[in-house]
Chains A and B, each alone.
Chain A
Amino acid sequence: MPERKDYHIAADVCVIGAGHAGCEAALACSRLGFETVIFTMNTDSIAMMPCNPHIGGSSKGHLVREIDALGGEMGRNIDKTFLQSKMLNRSKGPAVHSLRAQADKAEYSRSMRRVLEAQDHLTIRQAEVTELLTEGDPARICGVRIHTGTVYDCRIAIICTGTYLNARCLVGESITETGPGGMQRSTHLSDSLQALGIPLRRYKTGTPARMDGRSIDYSKMQIQKGDEEVVPFSFSTDLQSLQDVDQMPCWLTYTNEETHAVIRANLDRSPIYAGIIEGTGPRYCPSIEDKVVKFAEKTRHQVFIEPEGRYTNEVYVDGMSSSMPDDVQQRMYRTVPGLENCVIVKNAYAIEYDCLNANLLKLSLESRAVSGLFCAGQFNGSSGYEEAAAQGLIAGINACNKLRGREPLILKRSEAYIGVLIDDLVTRDNTEPYRMMTSRAEYRLLLRQDNADLRLTKYGYQCGLIDEERYQKLVRKQEQIEAEVRRLKEVRIGAAAQTQKILEELGTAPVKTACSLAELLCRPELHYDDLLPLDPDRQSLSSLPADVREQVEITVKYEGYIERQKRQVVQFEKMENRRLPENVDYLSLEGLRLEAQQKLQKARPASIGQASRLSGVTPADTAVLLIYLDKLRRQNKT
C-alpha cells in the first residue's frame, strides 16, 4: 500500500470548541498574536446559549465583569445584545449587587461570531477534532487531528468541548445521541484523552422547555421589568448607548401542589430516579423533579418566563428544568398559572457528557500530564456560560504565557471570583457540576462587581489584552477616587444652623460638633450626592464621573469592613505565598498521615494555602508542611 500522507496546517494554538470558553480562549490567543484555529462542530453554534437566556446574575455577574477587566469579550457582547438589564440585590450591600441581562440568544451568538471572524490570526474551522497529537516523554502537544485526517500542527491545544463529548440527551425514555440544542455530538476525543492517560468522568445537566409565547397567558403572571437606568457589563461600554434599548419584560409565576402531584406520580419515569442517568447533576441548579423531592414541604416554586430573543416567539421557562417524558412535561407545565394552554416548542431535557476532573490540572489550567494541553469550561466540570468564559480566558492567557516563556497568571482567591472558581475546581473535590456562588468567595466585600476593573485591569494590561488607553483611564480613575476620599476626610463642616437645616432636610440627625464629610457619609441614610449642598468645594470641582462617585461612596461608607476584610486577606495570603517546591516527595515526608501523603503526592499543590484546602489534608498535616518548608529554607541558605 502506498504510504498515506497527512495534510498538515501550521498553527500555534488549537482551540477545540467554540462555546463561551472556546471563544474567549481563541480571542485571547489570537489577539496576543498567536496563530489560532478554533474548531466547532457547527459554525452556527458559536457562542450558543443552549440553556438559560441570560448572562450574569448573582456572582456570575461578577465573573463577567472580571472577564471584561482582563480583556475578555463576554461583557462587551452582552452589552450589544441584551433585551433586559437588572442590578440584583440592590437592597443588600455592594458586595452582593449583581448585574444580570437577558440576552437575545441568536443575536448574542451572531455578534460573537462576527467578532471572531473579524479577528486577525484567528481561523474558524468546522470540524470534529478526533485526536490530540503529542511527542516526547513526558508528553507535550504537537498537533491535533480532525475527522478528515488533516493535522493542525500546534504547540498548544485548549479543550473547550462543553457538553458535546459523548453527549446524550434524555426526555424520559427517549434518548438521543446529540449534543446540546440538537447539535451533533463529538465522540473520538474521549478515546484520544484516555489513550494519553487522562481519565474522564460523566456529568449531567438539564434545561427546561421552550414554549410558543403566543400560548401563554401573561395576565396570570407578575411582570418583571428591567432597570430604568441600565448599567453596562463592560467597563468600556458607553453608558448612554444602552439607555435607549427597548427592554423586554420577564414574567413570574409559580408551580403549585397540582404540579408537584403530577411530578410525584411520575417520578419512576424520570431517567434520574429510574437510574438511567449515570452522570452527577448540579445540586445548585436542580430540576423541578429534584426540587419537589428535596423541598417536599414547599408548596410552590418560582417560575420565570424569559424571552429567547427579540425576533422569536420562543420563551424559556426558568425554574422548571426536567428530564421527564414528553407526556409528563405537557401535563406538568399546564398546571402552572398562565401556562394552562402552553405549546411546547422544545422539550425540557437532561444532557449527559464526558468531562474532566479538574484536579488533574494546574492552577494555570494546563494539564499536569500533557505539556501544552489546556482545558477550560464545562469540560472542567463547571456549569454556566460565565464560569466557562472565565476559564477560557485564563486558559488562553496562560497558553500565551507559556508560549512566551512567562509565568502563568494565577488569580488568588483574594483577588477575583475567577481565582476562587479555578482554585475550587483544581483544588477541591468536586462531584457535581460546579456553579459559582457568592458564598464561595471568602473576601467578597473586596471582590465586588463594581471594582473588578480596579482589581484586574492591571493583569489584562500586563498580558497585552488591555490597551494603553484603557489602562491609563483606569489609572486616572484610581487617582480620582483616592484624591476624593482624602478630600472627604479632610473637609470639615461646622455645626452652623444652615448646616443643621440641610441635614434635617436630608432626613438625618444634626451634627453635635464639627465633623468631616467622610464621617457624614458613613451614616447609612446619606449618600455621596446628598452631601452636595454641604460641600464647599464640590461645585467648583469639575463633577466626578458616576463610577468614581460610586467607588468613593463605597470606600468611605464601608471603610471599617473593608479594612477588616483586608486584614483577613493578609493572613490568608501568607499561606498562599508559602510556595511548595514542585519536586517534593510527599510519600517520604515524615509526620504526614498516610492519606495526606497520598493526596499531596497526587495533587502537588503550589502553596501551603492550596495544600490546606485539599480534602484529606488536616491542620496537623498543614503544620508538618510549614515546618518542612522552614527547614528547607534553612538548608538552602547554608
Chain B
Amino acid sequence: MEREMGADPFFAAASEEDTIAAISTAMSEAGIGIIRISGPAAAAIGSKLYRSPEDMKQGTRQNIGDWTPGTIRYGYITDADGQIIDEVMLSWMKAPHTYTTRDTVEINTHGGLYVMERVLGLVLEAGARLAEPGEFTKQAFLGGRIDLSRAEAVMDLIGAGSEYARRTSMAQLRGALSDRVKDLRARILYETAFIESALDDPENFDLEGYPDRLRGILTEEIRELEDLLIHARDGRILQDGIRTVILGRPNAGKSSLLNLLAGEERAIVTDIPGTTRDVLRERIRLGNLALVVSDTAGIRTTEDLIEEMGVRRAREAARKADLLLWILDAAQPLTEEDRQIGALVRDCVKEGIRCIVLLNKQDLDVCLYEEDIRAMEEAADLPLTLLSFSARNGEGRETLEETIRTLFHAGSGYSHNEALLTAARHREAAQEALEALRLVVQSIDAGLSEDFYTIDMMTAYRALGRILGESVEDDLVEEIFSRFCMGK
C-alpha cells in the first residue's frame, strides 16, 4: 500500500526545475516594465541577452552569475543578430535571497509594450518558460518564502463554505449568479438523492414516470447553465479581450480586414511555440474593448486560415472563440468552401459564440446579398449579424466596430477585479456541468435505467461545487496561485 510521493503526477506537474519568465508589471502603454526571470537558468538566460556598453564596443559578453548578488547595471538587450532591442537596467539576485527563492534576473525595460514583448520573446527563446499566472508567488511559497499565515491571506480567496461563496469566486459573476449556481446545484442534489432513495427503498419511492419528469427538470437546468456561461464569457472578455477568429475562404479578404482593424496600433505579442497558453498574436483595441485575433500568422502568410490550419484546426480555434468574423467575397457566388465554413459557423453559434458576417468587396460588382446568406441551409435560423463591407476602402468599418461593441457591450456591469481572473476555470467547471447534464438527458432518451443518471449528475454537482468552493480538488494549490495576476 506504500505509495511513492514522487510518482504523484501532481508533484511532477509542479516542474520546479523550470526557469520561468513573465512581464511582472501591469501590461500598459506606460514606458517602463519589468521582465522577471526566475529559476536555475536565470543568469544564463540573462547573460545571453545582456550587453554592457563596453561589451558593445569590444564585442564581449559577460556572465551575470559572476556579479555580486544585488547588483543592478545599465546596458542593452540584443537579439541573435546583435541588434539592440532596448536600453535596460538589469538586476541580479541570487537564491535563496529573492522573492521567489530562486535565482532571479529582472530586466527593466522602457521601450514600451511592443519592446517589452520583444524582450520577453527573446527570454523565452533563450530557454525560459512563460510563467503561469501566480507562479512566481507559488515558487515563493513552495520555497518557504511565504509561510502559511501569509498564505492565509490567500486562503481568504478560497475561503470556507458559505463565506467563500459570499466573498470571493463568484464575485466575478455577481451575487445573483452565485445564488443561481447554488440553486442549480441544490436541484441536482435533490434529484440525485431521490434516485438513490428509490434504488435503496423501492417500496417507498416510486420511479414510475420519473425519467420524463427528470428530463424536464434537467432541460431547464441546461438552459440556465447555458445562460450563465454566456454571462461568464462577458466577464472574461472585458478582462482578457474578445477572442476573435476570422473565417473566410482564400481571397475573401481576411488579411485586409485584419490590417484595416489593426491600423497603426498593431501590437505583436510574442509567438513562442511550446508555451502552453493561447498564442495571442494580434491585440487590437476597440475603444474600451480589445480584440485578440488568434493565429494571424497563418492569415498573414497564406491569407488562408482554413488552408493553412486545415479544417480541423480552424474548427478548434473557432470553437474557443468569442467572436467569429466570417468574411465573404460578395463579388463571387457562394462556393462549396463557403458552405463548409457555414457549417462550422452554425456549430459555433449554437454554442453561444457570436458571429458577424461581412459581405466584403462592396467596392466591386456585388453579386452576393444578405438574402443569399440567410437562404443557405447552413445559416438557416441563426442569429447572424450581416454587414456590407469593404476592406479595401474601409466602408463599413465603423459599423463593424459599433456592432462588436454592441454585441459585447461593456455596460453589463462587470468590472475588473481579482476574482475575475479565475473566470476561465469556473467557466470550465460550468461547461463540464453542462456537458454532464446533457449526457443525463441522452441517457434518459436512450432508455437507460435510473442508476445510470446519477453518474453524470454527480459530475455536474461536483463541477458546480468547484465554482462555489464547496468541492476542493487536488489541483487546489494551483488554483490558489492562479488567482494572482500574471507575473506577480
| CB <8 Å contact, B456 and A564 | yes
Query: Could you jot down 11 A-B contacts, CB within 8 Å?
Result: A408-B1, A439-B199, A524-B448, A578-B8, A590-B148, A618-B161, A619-B158, A620-B155, A623-B472, A627-B480, A631-B148
| CB <8 Å contact, B144 and A628 | no
CB-defined contacts of B148 to chain A, threshold 8 Å: 589-591, 624, 627-628, 631
Question: Does B151 have its Cβ within 8 Å of any Cβ on chain A?
Answer: yes
- Assuming A564-B459, A634-B142, is B477 touching A439 (CB within 8 A)? no
Of B149, B200, B470, chain A has the most CB atoms within 10 Å of the CB of B200
Q: Report Cα–Cα, A53/B40, bound state, in Å.
A: 70
- Assuming A442-B458, A444-B451, is B11 touching A633 (CB within 8 A)? yes
CB-defined contacts of B448 to chain A, threshold 8 Å: 93, 524
| CB <8 Å contact, B455 and A445 | yes
CB-defined contacts of A445 to chain B, threshold 8 Å: 451-452, 455
Question: Does B449 have its Cβ within 8 Å of any Cβ on chain A?
Answer: yes
Q: Report Cα–Cα, A622/B466, bound state, in Å.
A: 13
Q: Which of B200-253 contact A (CB under 8 A)?
A: 200-201, 203-204
A residues sitting closer than 8 Å to B (CB atoms) are: 58-59, 89, 91-93, 95-96, 284, 295, 298, 301-302, 407-410, 437-439, 442, 444-445, 524, 558, 561, 564-565, 568, 571, 574-575, 577-579, 589-591, 593, 612, 618-624, 626-628, 630-631, 633-635
- Assuming A92-B451, A298-B204, is B196 touching A575 (CB within 8 A)? no
Q: How far is the CB of A229 from chain B (nearest CB, A)?
A: 21
CB-defined contacts of A612 to chain B, threshold 8 Å: 472
Q: How far is the CB of B320 from chain A (nearest CB, A)?
A: 22
| CB <8 Å contact, B459 and A439 | no
- Assuming A574-B10, A574-B474, A619-B161, is B196 touching A568 (CB within 8 A)? no
B residues sitting closer than 8 Å to A (CB atoms) are: 1-3, 5, 8, 10-11, 141-144, 148-149, 151-152, 155, 158-161, 163-164, 196-197, 199-201, 203-204, 439, 443, 446-452, 455-456, 458-459, 469-474, 476-477, 480
Q: How far is the CB of B381 from chain A (nearest CB, A)?
A: 27
CB-defined contacts of A630 to chain B, threshold 8 Å: 142, 477
| CB <8 Å contact, A623 and B152 | no
Q: Report Cα–Cα, A372/B196, bound state, in Å.
A: 38
| CB <8 Å contact, B144 and A635 | yes
Of B203, B471, B474, chain A has the most CB atoms within 10 Å of the CB of B474
Q: How far is the CB of A613 from chain B (nearest CB, A)?
A: 12
Residue of chain A at shortest CB distance from B200 = A437
Q: Report Cα–Cα, A626/B480, bound state, in Å.
A: 11
Q: How far is the CB of B5 from chain A (nearest CB, A)?
A: 6
- Given B199, B452, B480, which contacts A438 in the complex, CB threshold below 8 Å? B199
Additional A-B contact list (6), CB under 8 Å, known A620-B158, A626-B472, A627-B151 = A298-B204, A575-B473, A591-B155, A618-B161, A619-B161, A634-B143
| CB <8 Å contact, A93 and B152 | no
CB-defined contacts of A577 to chain B, threshold 8 Å: 3, 8
Residue of chain B at shortest CB distance from A412 = B1
Q: Report Cα–Cα, A635/B142, bound state, in Å.
A: 9
Residue of chain A at shortest CB distance from B469 = A619
Q: How far is the CB of A302 from chain B (nearest CB, A)?
A: 5
| CB <8 Å contact, A93 and B155 | no
- Assuming A58-B200, A92-B199, is B474 touching A619 (CB within 8 A)? no
- Assuming A561-B452, A624-B148, is B160 touching A593 (CB within 8 A)? yes
| CB <8 Å contact, A618 and B473 | no
- Assuming A96-B199, A410-B1, A564-B456, is B155 touching A623 (CB within 8 A)? yes
Q: Report Cα–Cα, A394/B200, bound state, in Å.
A: 25
Residue of chain A at shortest CB distance from B7 = A577
- Assuming A574-B474, A622-B472, A631-B144, is B451 touching A93 (CB within 8 A)? yes
- Assuming A92-B451, A564-B456, A590-B149, is B477 touching A620 (CB within 8 A)? no
- Given B161, B450, B459, which contacts A620 in the complex, CB threshold below 8 Å? B161
| CB <8 Å contact, A438 and B11 | no
Residue of chain B at shortest CB distance from A96 = B451
| CB <8 Å contact, B476 and A590 | no
Q: Report Cα–Cα, A407/B2, bound state, in Å.
A: 8
CB-defined contacts of A565 to chain B, threshold 8 Å: 455
Q: Report Cα–Cα, A445/B163, bound state, in Å.
A: 35
Q: Report Cα–Cα, A568/B155, bound state, in Å.
A: 26
| CB <8 Å contact, A568 and B459 | yes
- Assuming A298-B204, A591-B149, is B158 touching A623 (CB within 8 A)? yes
Q: Report Cα–Cα, A68/B203, bound state, in Å.
A: 29
Residue of chain A at shortest CB distance from B4 = A577
Of A408, A624, A627, chain B has the most CB atoms within 10 Å of the CB of A627
Q: Report Cα–Cα, A129/B251, bound state, in Å.
A: 93
Q: Report Cα–Cα, A575/B474, bound state, in Å.
A: 6
CB-defined contacts of A93 to chain B, threshold 8 Å: 448-449, 451-452
- Assuming A564-B456, A623-B155, A623-B472, is B142 touching A92 (CB within 8 A)? no
| CB <8 Å contact, A618 and B480 | no
Residue of chain B at shortest CB distance from A294 = B204
CB-defined contacts of B443 to chain A, threshold 8 Å: 561
Q: Report Cα–Cα, A59/B202, bound state, in Å.
A: 14
Q: How far is the CB of B190 from chain A (nearest CB, A)?
A: 14
Q: Report Cα–Cα, A547/B451, bound state, in Å.
A: 22
The 5 closest A-B pairs by CB, nearest first: A439-B196, A620-B160, A574-B474, A619-B472, A407-B1
CB-defined contacts of A295 to chain B, threshold 8 Å: 204
- Given B1, B161, B449, B476, which contacts A92 in the complex, CB threshold below 8 Å? B449
| CB <8 Å contact, A619 and B144 | no
| CB <8 Å contact, B477 and A626 | yes
Q: Report Cα–Cα, A51/B341, bound state, in Å.
A: 70
- Given A437, A564, A589, A620, which contacts B455 in the complex, CB threshold below 8 Å? A564
CB-defined contacts of B203 to chain A, threshold 8 Å: 301-302
CB-defined contacts of A568 to chain B, threshold 8 Å: 455, 458-459
| CB <8 Å contact, A619 and B152 | no
CB-defined contacts of A301 to chain B, threshold 8 Å: 203
